[in-house]
Amino acid sequence: MSPPGLYDRPPGTDDAKLIDIFYPGDQQSITYGTKSRVGIGGMEAKVKAALWALQGGTSVVIANGTHPKVTGHVITDIVEGKKVGTFFSEVKPAGPTVEQQTEMARHAGRALASLDPEQRGEIICSLADLLTEKKDEILSANKRDMELATTSGRLSQPLIDRLSLSSAKLNSLAIGLRQLAVSSRDSVGRVVRRTRVANNLELEQITVPIGVLLVIFESRPDCLPQVSALAIASGNALLLKGGKEASNTNRILHQLTQEALSSHGVADAVQLVSTREEVEDLCRLDKLIDLIIPRGSSQLVRDIQRAAKGIPVLGHSEGVCHVYLDNEASIDKALDIVRDSKCDYPAACNAMETLLIHRDLLRTPLFDQIIDMLRTERVKIHAGPRFASYLTFSPSEVKSLRTEYGDLECCIEVVDSMQEAVDHIHKYGSSHTDVIVTESEETAEQFLQQVDSACVFWNSSSRFADGYRFGLGAEVGISTARIHARGPVGLEGLLTTKWVLRGTGQTVADFSEQGSMKYLHENIPVPQKGFS
């Protein structure tokens, strides 16, 4: 099969890399293989022909139309702007390519991981200080983004809400970062397990960074310092791709992050992708990126999960969160929890989207007060099929019981029991965050045990599903996956482990029937933090 484009050296050789964009000045960096044995011209001949056509004003792409990585017809993909093969360009951009940025981040990230935990903590505290010292500059940049977003009319109100920064939000960010700096001192290099395999042969499992993280986020520029701090604390390199709607805010926040990193010579460990690479193009860098974390709409997450063929994706596609009011719920607690879960920040992924009400509560003071409160808060109510059948008035009937509104809207549905509420959540929920309000400890414990979601709460708002509120200092996102990390993903979720074995010359043959050694497999106590 022909190669999918132009490589910097013959395909199949060590370190051969596909060139996405080729500039005439790059000719000296290419190593060509042998010419075609059938006389139809090798890659060198193709490159010469492409450069000749480029000089004549013709756009050129070298690609293989039958290559499996081409998603459709090669010409259609090229016209649609997808990265296919090698594009020949006369103009070379001033900055590094995204591939070069990723390489720079990986190299600096390894230096970051080798720093002492106290040094990484100093970097995070420095970033926290800069967030407050440069508050006026940050808010000025954010104001420009907000004005552009409002006048363009391209963003929905929930996205505009997520775009907005304030002095209070920056102060909260700084507090969270300082909290993270303290808690991160026992992160990278922590011994998880020790085993005496045999005499003088000891095994340790220790925490290490994952490698290079790619975080793609929409609006929410406050995500940038949070994620950067978590990457610094965990010793990971970081590639950030923000939405253009927050470009001014992201730019200054990234500059401050690099300023904090530069104090220890690792400024390149956090890179902001400002080129026009699409999400699909970034997801193709499977040899450079170790984990993708999307922060944005459910559609964005699904698109990334489809595009990232060879890279793990950590995230949640939807935040369909439920609050269930049991027949033994307290009126005051129910009112406060429903109001906070839905109205505090309806654009958040941990906001309530469906309110489940026990049938016994219908036509009671609690039910009337809940409806009055939602109307006062201007929440649009969508009735589930069973709820609609009980009503004398007619709110809009829900189109789907699995809907993430992201606004002052919610669905209300009636259930006959706690078990029916659990079944409803499992059928229509997204395994994000689900709440029960009840004074019955027995019912609550059954709910907490049976609901298979990342976060399950009793008599508390769904809005507590957050890394800062959990005491993690910050979060890189909320995961509904069942492998690696689940719920708010803080520092621990960005670490993996490796095994370190220390011996004195032992071989496997020493443990054979004819050998002189025997396996012990004894657990060795791991010293707790603060003890020697």
Q: Tell me the DSSP string of 363-387.
A: TSHHHHHHHHHHHHTTPEEEE-HHH
SS3 321: strand
HSE-CB for 233 with a 13 A CA cutoff: 34
| Residue 158, phi then psi, degrees to nearest 5 | -60, -40
**What are the respective helix, strand and coil percentages of the chain, to the nearest 5?**
40, 20, 40
Asked if residue 501 is part of any domain, the answer here is no
Closest listed residue to residue 452, CA positions, set 430, 467, 470, 436:
430
Where among 33, 66, 88 does a domain terminate?
A: 88
Whether 83 and 103 share a structural domain = no
CATH classification at residue 133:
3.40.605.10
Same domain? 140 vs 257: yes
Residues 352 and 468 in one domain: yes
209 shares its domain with 283: yes
Cβ atoms 208, 188 nearer than 8 A: yes
Residue 37 confidence (pLDDT): 52
Q: Are residues 331 and 285 in the same domain?
A: no
Is residue 458 a part of any domain in this protein?
A: yes
Determine, yes or no, domain membership for 445: yes
What's the CA gap between 476 and 493, in Å, rounded? 9
Give residue 31's Cα distance to chain centre.
Answer: 38
Tell which of 88, 116, 147 closes a domain: 88
- Report angle CA 74, 80, 86 to the nearest 5 degrees: 55
| Pairwise CA distance, residues 293 & 227, whole Å | 10
135 with 250, same domain: the answer is yes
Whole-number Cα distances in Å, 231 to 134, 181, 399: 22, 12, 41
One domain, residues 112 and 31:
no
Global pTM value: 0.80
Phi, psi of 491 (to 5 degrees): -60, -45
Same domain, 81 and 226: no
Residue 523 lies in a domain: no
Edge-to-edge strand ranges of the sheet holding 495-502 = 495-502, 201-209, 191-198, 522-523
Encode burial over 272-294: b for 16+ CB neighbours within 10 A, e otherwise.
Answer: bbbeebebebbbbbeebbbbbbb
Per-residue pLDDT of the chain (532 residues; tens, 9 = 90+): 567 777 877 776 767 777 777 777 666 566 766 655 544 456 777 787 878 777 777 778 888 766 555 455 677 776 656 677 787 777 666 678 888 899 999 999 999 999 999 999 999 999 999 999 999 999 999 999 999 998 887 777 777 888 999 999 999 999 999 989 988 888 899 999 999 999 999 999 999 999 999 999 988 899 999 999 999 999 999 999 998 999 999 999 999 999 999 999 999 999 999 876 677 778 888 889 999 999 877 788 888 888 887 899 988 878 999 999 999 999 999 999 999 999 999 988 999 999 999 999 998 999 999 999 999 999 999 999 999 888 766 667 788 999 999 899 999 999 999 999 999 999 999 999 999 999 999 999 999 999 999 999 999 999 999 988 998 878 888 898 888 889 999 899 999 999 999 999 999 999 998 888 999 999 999 977 543 3
**Is 178 within the bounds of a domain?**
yes
- Is the residue at 303 inside a domain? yes
Distance CA 126, CA 257 (A): 9
Looking at residue 307, the DSSP 8-state letter turns out to be H
- Long-range contacts of range 370-376, CB-CB < 8 Å, 24 or more positions apart? 370/325, 370/334, 370/335, 370/338, 373/335, 373/338, 373/339, 374/338, 374/342, 374/410
**Segments forming the whole domain that contains residue 433:** 321-481
Specify whether 114 is located in the same domain as 33: no
Please name the residue that has the structure tokens 């977003």.
149
Q: Are 444 and 324 in contact (CB under 8 A)?
A: no
* Cα Rg of the chain (Å, integer): 28
Domain annotation covers residue 144: yes
Output the domain CATH number for residue 336: 3.40.309.10
CB 92 within 8 A of CB 275: no
Count of the separate structural domains present in the chain: 3
- Pairing relationship of beta strands 495-502 and 201-209 according to DSSP bridges: antiparallel
Judgement on whether residues 280 and 357 belong to the same structural domain of the protein: no
Same domain, 421 and 470: yes
pLDDT for residue 131: 97
423 and 475 together in one domain: yes
Domain boundary (273, 307, 341) is at 307
Q: With respect to residue 462, please indicate whether it lies within any of the assigned structural domains.
A: yes
Give the C-alpha separation, 478 to 295, whole Å: 9
Which among 394, 378, 383, 390 has a CA at the least distance from the CA of 339? 378
Both structure tokens of 191: 């011994």
- Positive or negative, the CA dihedral 249, 253, 255, 256 is positive
Specify the 3-state DSSP secondary structure of 157.
helix
